[in-house]
Chain A
Amino acid sequence: MNRNHVNTTINGDATQFLCDPGASLLDVLRDALHLTGSKEGCGSGDCGACTVQLDGEMVCSCLVLAAEAEGRTVATIEGVAEGSVLHPVQQKFLEHAALQCGFCTPGFIVAAKSLLDRNPNPTETEVRYWLAGNLCRCTGYDKIVRAVMDAAAELRQERTPA
């Protein structure tokens, strides 16, 4: 089978890879590039564990062909922190215990960051609907929503009342 040669940018780094024409971006991220932070929970775009940003847009990487990354920028969970400094969404997930098993967490963090990139002051309802494409089976979402609201506040350099 002919393989595609793809030039792309992943987490700021120029990256090349070869892939089957039918390979998903998620498969290439995980298996070829060893970026296993993006998870496959369903492979059908229903769980959001594979969420990445493609040219700044939130997508399920299991629903994107790897070849579509040509000439575009991909941001994965591995690029959310700046070096060892966590993004406020990551920090608030830790402080609020917004993860239990942690498997869905990378997808939630990328999705939440995408929300806060465009809406720094979301309501609880906006958070809940934005994150409705990410499944978490452990937490009941309560602490996740609180973490995202608190991260938004932090990003606005405010503090939420205790």
Chain B
Amino acid sequence: MNAPDKIETFRHIGTRPVRPDGVDKVTGKALYGTDFKAPGMLWGAILRSPHPHARILSIDTRAAEKLAGVKAVATGRDLPTLESLVMHVGEGASDIVDVSHNCLAFDKVLYEGHPVAAVAATTPELAREAAVLISVEYEVLPHVLGLDEALADDAPLIREPARGRSDEKPSNIAMDVTMGRGDVEAALSGAAAVVEGRYTMEPVHQGYIEPHACVASWNGDGQAQIWCSSQGHFMVRSLTASVLAIPQSDIRVTPLEIGGGFGGKTTVYLEPVAMILSRKSGRPVRLGMSREDVFRATGPAPGAIIDVRLGADADGTLVAAEVTFKYHSGAFAANDAGAGVSSAIGHYRIANTRVSGIEVLCNRPAAKAYRAPGAPQVNFAVESAIDELAIKLGMDPLELRMKNAAMPGDLQTSGLPWGEIGWVQCLEAAKAHPHLSAPLGPNQGRGIAGGYWGNYGGPSTVNLSVAEDGTFTVATGSPDIGGSRASMAIMAAEVLEVPYEQVRCVVADTASIGLSFVTGGSRTTFATGMATVEAAREVKRLLCERAARTWQVPAEDVEWREGNAVCTSGEKLGSKMSAGEIAGSSIHSGGPITATSALSAQGWLPGFGFHICDVEVDQETGHVSIVRYTAVQDVGRAIHADYVEGQIQGGVAQGIGWALNETYIYNGEGKLENPGFLDYRMPVTSDMPMIDTVMVEVPNPVHPYGVKGVGEVPIVPPLAAVANAVHAATGKRMRSLPMSPDKVHAALHAES
């Protein structure tokens, strides 16, 4: 028999219903971080350092305090002195001392834009005026921005005293990770073909359109409320309480709608400062950032210098890979090197590997997670090198990838075996796609690249309650950045066998639901989804139990069918009660019907993607246009197909921006020269073609509906896909990002 083992049909999974928060968002009613106002609220402003590196000798706040309408002034001296403590609450770990010193500089400023003091006043204009009246005396110190410069023997040390092992010479290295196996040198010397290259890029920003903002109200009795947009209000509670050394239960954080995060809203910048200003003034205080503040002082993704060596046998079997990279850490320790190491070459089966990365402190804003943090940089280098190797071997670049593609059971770089990954299925789907054989026009070229991201699970809490009329409310602790209310409602409705509209989903504040980790790591549909399914199953069980009690039959005689409790044997056989009938009489059957699932989701699986990109290069100007783009991705199983496609399309657009235009530009004085959307050029509508998506579904066996994280993978392959397409169009190997017109023009017109 050729019939599949199991045919799964779903009522809601994979459909495309309108999101429940949609109308609020298309009518301007939704309240974002910048929209919330509290009664009697003061407006805050922050004074930021004009220097990339300086010692603060004195801060004179008297003139600001005297200005009529100013109600509070704060400096780093107002924050408690903390012991070093590494907290795992955002995306990656943060030392709470670093978080505190990043909110308000203590004795040194470490980057241009580092907050030095803050004021709260009755109007925003007064607050800004007062901030300028704060007089800061600096001893300007030598600064360092570049990776190699920061590693030089005479480089200024960013962190004093340098942490790390006592036997180490103090340096700006904040993190050092190496993985691998086998004998790379021997394998490379025996390889039929070897390619090597150095790939570089400057930092790029997450580029969410909503600047950071919050309102804090901290009363004299110690209790506080914070309203803000973030990727995790429990993260805000935890970090703010720790920076201020107060109990977490004294802070209630209400999540507002979030206008994009991409990893950049997984820490606190403003909340502890707004809290101090509120405590001092006795009033709620609002703090917000301008777009310039966002660029100068919030987490960019690290820039990088990456060296790659790959070796293959004549038949294309990869025999050795060495990847060595340096990432910017910025002013404080970041977390991208570890993920960079594990995201570099694990998609290929290679016997001899060595991948090592370091993170380097320098006078830039502290690097922060950006969608698959640490992966796009190394992937750009590795997938460019694979392309080069294919050319050297005279092999089709897709065939070379297919030949070496990692499969379930093959070893990752860490030495652990891969689980049920869908990389080969992505390659096969791409091979069958008409895009690969479509004709190209003049000055056009086609590039391909593949990549992956590990994804995450972790803590989530969901409460599912039944109203008296038999409708359902799902409360989660996971901010909805891209439609997760809809996907939770889909999964709950699937379990309960009721219409989608019969389940509504809210994001509850920190006092109303249990701990939930940030919306990051592509974890929400997986982990919070798992909790939603578990809570829905428990509610279904309770509904059956109540019906059994009402009918006075054994619980095992009742089943849930098509949204009703049905009696399956005995004299009540065939009796039926709807959720509304059961819930409406629950006062007599045991009380309100509700279930909470609190779990730490395990068994997440990585996602793999394969992208095909056609570019057209203007020979005269060096401008690169994206003319066609196809992204294939293993999504496990799509819960809301539109929002899965949307994640893929959005990641591709960000990757294209990274590839072609986006970059931080600092001048010789260590000041950012492009802190605005005019000069930090993100893709706009007219830069983009439609982005064709192909969702490959290799379900995760651990998740009740097969979910794998999808949000981060799609930003990984575009950098190399675009670069490989530019190479195909021009014969020029672009190893430095972005491939802006000036660089492409220079490459096209270089005299050999």
Annotate B12-31 by CB proximity to A: 1 below 8 A, 0 otherwise. 00001011011101111111
Contact of A97 among B19, B29, B682 (CB under 8 A): B19
Q: In the complex the two chains form, what is the Cα distance from A129 to B640 in whole Å?
A: 30
Q: Does A90 contact B (CB under 8 A)?
A: yes
- List B115-171 residues whose CB lies under 8 Å from chain A: 124-125
B30, closest chain A residue (CB): A102
Does B685 lie within 8 Å of A39, measured CB to CB? Answer: no
> What are 15 A-to-B residue pairs whose CB atoms are below 8 Å?
A36-B34, A37-B29, A41-B210, A47-B209, A49-B209, A81-B27, A93-B26, A101-B257, A103-B208, A105-B26, A134-B684, A138-B646, A139-B646, A140-B649, A145-B685
Q: In the complex the two chains form, what is the Cα distance from A76 to B18 in whole Å?
A: 23
A99, closest chain B residue (CB): B25
Annotate A39-54 by CB proximity to B: 1 below 8 A, 0 otherwise. 1111110110100000
Does B27 lie within 8 Å of A100, measured CB to CB? Answer: no
Does A103 lie within 8 Å of B32, measured CB to CB? Answer: yes
Q: Does A131 contact B (CB under 8 A)?
A: yes
- List A23-44 residues whose CB lies under 8 Å from chain B: 30-31, 34-44
Q: In the complex the two chains form, what is the Cα distance from A96 to B640 in whole Å?
A: 12
Does A90 lie within 8 Å of B678, measured CB to CB? Answer: no
Q: How many residues of B contact A (CB 8 A)?
A: 60
Q: Chain A residues near B28: list those with CB within 8 A.
A: 35-38, 76-78, 106
Q: Chain B residues near A106: list those with CB within 8 A.
A: 26, 28
Q: In the complex the two chains form, what is the Cα distance from A43 to B290 in whole Å?
A: 8
Q: Chain A residues near B261: list those with CB within 8 A.
A: 101
Chain B proximity of A2: nearest CB distance (Å): 14
Q: Chain B residues near A41: list those with CB within 8 A.
A: 209-211, 259, 291, 677
Annotate A126-155 by CB proximity to B: 1 below 8 A, 0 otherwise. 011101111111111111111000000000
Q: Chain B residues near A105: list those with CB within 8 A.
A: 25-26
- The stretch from B102-110, B501-509, B650-658, B740-748 touching chain A is B650-658
Q: In the complex the two chains form, what is the Cα distance from A109 to B25 in whole Å?
A: 10
Contact of B26 among A76, A99, A131 (CB under 8 A): A99
Best-surrounded residue of B207, B259, B653, B691 (most CB of chain A within 10 A): B259
Q: Does A95 contact B (CB under 8 A)?
A: yes
B18, closest chain A residue (CB): A94
Chain B proximity of A65: nearest CB distance (Å): 15
Q: Does B57 contact A (CB under 8 A)?
A: no
Q: Chain B residues near A36: list those with CB within 8 A.
A: 28, 31-32, 34-35
Q: In the complex the two chains form, what is the Cα distance from A32 to B324 in whole Å?
A: 55
Q: How many residues of A contact B (CB 8 A)?
A: 58
B679, closest chain A residue (CB): A46
Q: Chain B residues near A78: list those with CB within 8 A.
A: 27-29
In addition to A94-B26, A102-B25, 11 A-B residue pairs with Cβ atoms within 8 Å of each other are A41-B211, A95-B18, A97-B646, A100-B260, A100-B647, A102-B30, A104-B209, A131-B684, A133-B684, A137-B260, A142-B691
Given contacts A100-B481, A102-B25, contact A20 B684 (CB under 8 A): no
Best-surrounded residue of B209, B259, B687 (most CB of chain A within 10 A): B209
Q: In the complex the two chains form, what is the Cα distance from A38 to B16 in whole Å?
A: 28
Q: In the complex the two chains form, what is the Cα distance from A89 to B259 in whole Å?
A: 20
Q: Does B584 contact A (CB under 8 A)?
A: no
Q: In the complex the two chains form, what is the Cα distance from A119 to B190 in whole Å?
A: 65
Contact of B676 among A46, A128, A143 (CB under 8 A): A46
Q: In the complex the two chains form, what is the Cα distance from A36 to B32 in whole Å?
A: 9
In the A-B complex, the 9 residue pairs with the smallest Cβ-Cβ separation, listed nearest first, are: A37-B28, A103-B259, A102-B25, A140-B653, A97-B642, A140-B649, A46-B677, A77-B28, A100-B482
Annotate A68-88 by CB proximity to B: 1 below 8 A, 0 otherwise. 000000001110110000100
Task: Specify the main secondary structure of chain B where it touches its partner.
Answer: loop
Does A47 lie within 8 Å of B482, measured CB to CB? Answer: no
Annotate B625-646 by CB proximity to A: 1 below 8 A, 0 otherwise. 0000000000000001011011
Annotate B225-265 by CB proximity to A: 1 below 8 A, 0 otherwise. 00000000000000000000000000000000111111000
Q: In the complex the two chains form, what is the Cα distance from A86 to B29 in whole Å?
A: 13
B692, closest chain A residue (CB): A142
Chain B proximity of A86: nearest CB distance (Å): 7
Q: In the complex the two chains form, what is the Cα distance from A131 to B688 in whole Å?
A: 12
- List B1-60 residues whose CB lies under 8 Å from chain A: 16, 18-19, 21-23, 25-32, 34-35, 37
Q: Chain A residues near B483: list those with CB within 8 A.
A: 97, 100
Does A143 lie within 8 Å of B649, measured CB to CB? Answer: yes
Q: Chain B residues near A139: list those with CB within 8 A.
A: 646, 649-650, 653
Q: Does B437 contact A (CB under 8 A)?
A: no
Q: Chain B residues near A96: list those with CB within 8 A.
A: 642
Does B258 lie within 8 Å of A77, measured CB to CB? Answer: no
Does B691 lie within 8 Å of A103, measured CB to CB? Answer: no
B689, closest chain A residue (CB): A142
Q: Chain A residues near B685: list those with CB within 8 A.
A: 127-129, 131-132, 134, 136, 141, 144-145
- List B664-679 residues whose CB lies under 8 Å from chain A: 676-678
Does A137 lie within 8 Å of B654, measured CB to CB? Answer: yes
Given contacts A76-B28, A109-B26, contact A136 B209 (CB under 8 A): yes
Annotate B686-705 by CB proximity to A: 1 below 8 A, 0 otherwise. 11101100000000000000
Q: Chain B residues near A37: list those with CB within 8 A.
A: 27-29
Q: In the complex the two chains form, what is the Cα distance from A125 to B686 in whole Å?
A: 7
Given contacts A42-B676, A132-B684, contact A138 B291 (CB under 8 A): no
A46, closest chain B residue (CB): B677
Q: Chain B residues near A143: list those with CB within 8 A.
A: 642, 645-646, 649
Chain A proximity of B150: nearest CB distance (Å): 30
Best-surrounded residue of B25, B258, B647 (most CB of chain A within 10 A): B25
B207, closest chain A residue (CB): A137
Does B678 lie within 8 Å of A80, measured CB to CB? Answer: no
